[in-house]
Amino acid sequence: MKRRQFIKHSASVAGLSFVGCGLGAMSVAADESHDGQRRQVMVNGKRMLTVDIHCHSYVHDVWPLIEEYDDLGYLRSVVDNEHLRKKIDLNNVDFRLQQMDQQGIDVQAVSLHVGQYHHWADRDLAAKIVSIQNEKIAELCSQHPDRFVGLGAVALQHPDLAVQQMRHAISESNMRGFMITASIEGEELASPRFHPFWAAAEELGTVIFIHPRNFPAGQSRLGGNGRLDNVIGNPLETTVALSHLIFEGTLDRFPGVKICAAHGGGYLPSYIGRSDHCASNTPQFCEAVGKLPSEYLKQLYFDSLIYTTENLQHLINTVGAEQVVIGTDFPFGMGVSDADDHVLSVSGLTAAQQEAILGGTAARLLGIG
């Protein structure tokens, strides 16, 4: 059951816009988005806190630092599309809050547009870029602490700098976690070069949200109709990244690290049995694995952005309800506007499990009171 109440809000943060990783902007339901209604999610008469761990923003202030470089195709869609800019301009934060109210989302963990991870940048430029990005995200969150928490950026191409940025953002900007891409200029997250980053994340107890940026290694086969670089490439990129973290022993080395994977972990939870079979029947190829690959899924977290009730049911059955959190991918077309209904459509969940997925687990991970 759900009920509605009316609230009012007003907001503006210069230099930041909300964007997504999908194909087009979400539609707006006219009967809910413009009149100040706040949708509340109820389970057995109890008001549920709903927390979305997967939404994006674009920090305009970085543009002057990087516009001279060639590798900007991913951002040109935002910068050059006037219609899109009007929809995502953070000077119209009211639009964003109205969408959250319509969708029944109480709190969002705001991260960057994946195109703003400039891994080609040298150390000095990377430091400037990330400083501005985290400052703007923190500014938004401080103005609306009841609605937004920050997932900051780090320049992981410079691991020692990334550790410094992470510590600073937590202590000075109250950042609750960090979003990273699923590979760094072709280098796997399981590379020993990134061990200091994982060690610091484990020490600090901060959430690391892994988000793909298509699948660069397979681009030659992902062209043509169907936007396969996004539809197939994104979940495949996450699948490969998580598999390396398992099979290269990263999750054994840093068992306490809190990793959340976008898009339900890609294809891995759906086909983890094949990885288990490999580990059991050809152990010579899985020497770094201390337990069955499927057991590692129990120490990871996954967002709910996998579209069908059947797929979400399977994810929950595979990893456990306590490991799944809401993800909407606001505001582009590959996102969803009914994440809470999606969770409630899964049969057989207890009220406690529903509460955990809707917001309880994310609130614990992100330190939301």
pTM of the entire predicted model: 0.90
SS3 13: coil
The predicted pLDDT at position 8 comes to: 35
DSSP per-residue letters across 173-219: H---EEEEESEETTEETTSGGGHHHHHHHHHHT-EEEEE----GGGG
Give the helix/strand (H/E) hosting 229: helix 228-231
The predicted pLDDT at position 74 comes to: 60
The predicted pLDDT at position 67 comes to: 82
CB 345 within 8 A of CB 362: no
Q: Across-strand partners of 184?
A: 187
Q: CA angle at residue 334 from 113 to 300, to 5 degrees?
A: 70
- Among 87-101, 135-149, 174-188, 206-220, the range scoring the smallest mean pLDDT is 87-101
CB 120 within 8 A of CB 181: no
- Among 136-145, 197-206, 357-366, the range scoring the smallest mean pLDDT is 136-145
DSSP per-residue letters across 310-327: HHHHHHHHHH-GGGEEB-
The answer to whether residue 124 scores a pLDDT higher than 70 is yes
Q: What is the mean predicted confidence (pLDDT) over 342-363?
A: 96
With tokens 């959340």, the residue in question is 260
Q: What is the mean predicted confidence (pLDDT) over 194-218?
A: 96
With tokens 């902007």, the residue in question is 25
Q: What is the mean predicted confidence (pLDDT) over 344-357?
A: 96
Q: What is the mean predicted confidence (pLDDT) over 170-183?
A: 97
Q: What is the mean predicted confidence (pLDDT) over 64-77?
A: 70
Which is more confident, 304 or 1?
304
CB 17 within 8 A of CB 92: no
Give the residue extent of every domain in the chain.
2-366
Provide the pLDDT confidence category of residue 14 given band limits of 50, 70 and 90.
low
pLDDT in tens, 35-68: 557 899 999 999 999 999 999 988 888 888 988 8
The predicted pLDDT at position 94 comes to: 78
Which is more confident, 61 or 239?
239
The answer to whether residue 83 scores a pLDDT higher than 80 is no
Mean pLDDT of the chain: 87
The predicted pLDDT at position 13 comes to: 62
The predicted pLDDT at position 24 comes to: 40
pLDDT in tens, 270-300: 999 999 999 999 888 887 677 999 999 999 9
Q: What is the mean predicted confidence (pLDDT) over 251-276?
A: 96
Give the tokens for residue 309: 């009730």
CB 51 within 8 A of CB 359: yes
Q: Across-strand partners of 149?
A: 109
Tell me the helices (H) and strands (E) count for the chain, helix number first. Answer: 17, 14
The predicted pLDDT at position 286 comes to: 80
Q: CA angle at residue 109 from 175 to 310, to 5 degrees?
A: 140
Which is more confident, 212 or 330?
212
DSSP per-residue letters across 230-283: HHTHHHHHHHHHHHHHHHTTHHHHSTT-EEEESGGGTTTGGGHHHHHHHHHH-G
The answer to whether residue 170 scores a pLDDT higher than 90 is yes
Rg (CA), the chain: 20
Provide the pLDDT confidence category of residue 331 given band limits of 50, 70 and 90.
confident
Query: Residue 47: what are its φ and ψ, rounded to 5°?
Result: -70, 125
226: left (phi over 0), alpha (psi -120 to 50) or beta: left
CA dihedral sign of residues 256, 261, 267, 269: positive
Provide the pLDDT confidence category of residue 87 given band limits of 50, 70 and 90.
low
SS3 151: strand
Measured between alpha carbons, how far is residue 247 from residues 167, 275, 296, 305 in Å?
Answer: 28, 9, 10, 25
pLDDT in tens, 333-347: 899 999 999 999 999
Helix 159-173 to helix 123-143 angle (10° resolution) is 20
Q: What is the mean predicted confidence (pLDDT) over 184-192?
A: 97
DSSP assigned state of 27: P
Q: CA angle at residue 158 from 249 to 149, to 5 degrees?
A: 85
Assigned CATH topology for domain 2-366: TIM Barrel (3.20.20)
Q: Across-strand partners of 109?
A: 149
The answer to whether residue 76 scores a pLDDT higher than 90 is no
The answer to whether residue 256 scores a pLDDT higher than 60 is yes
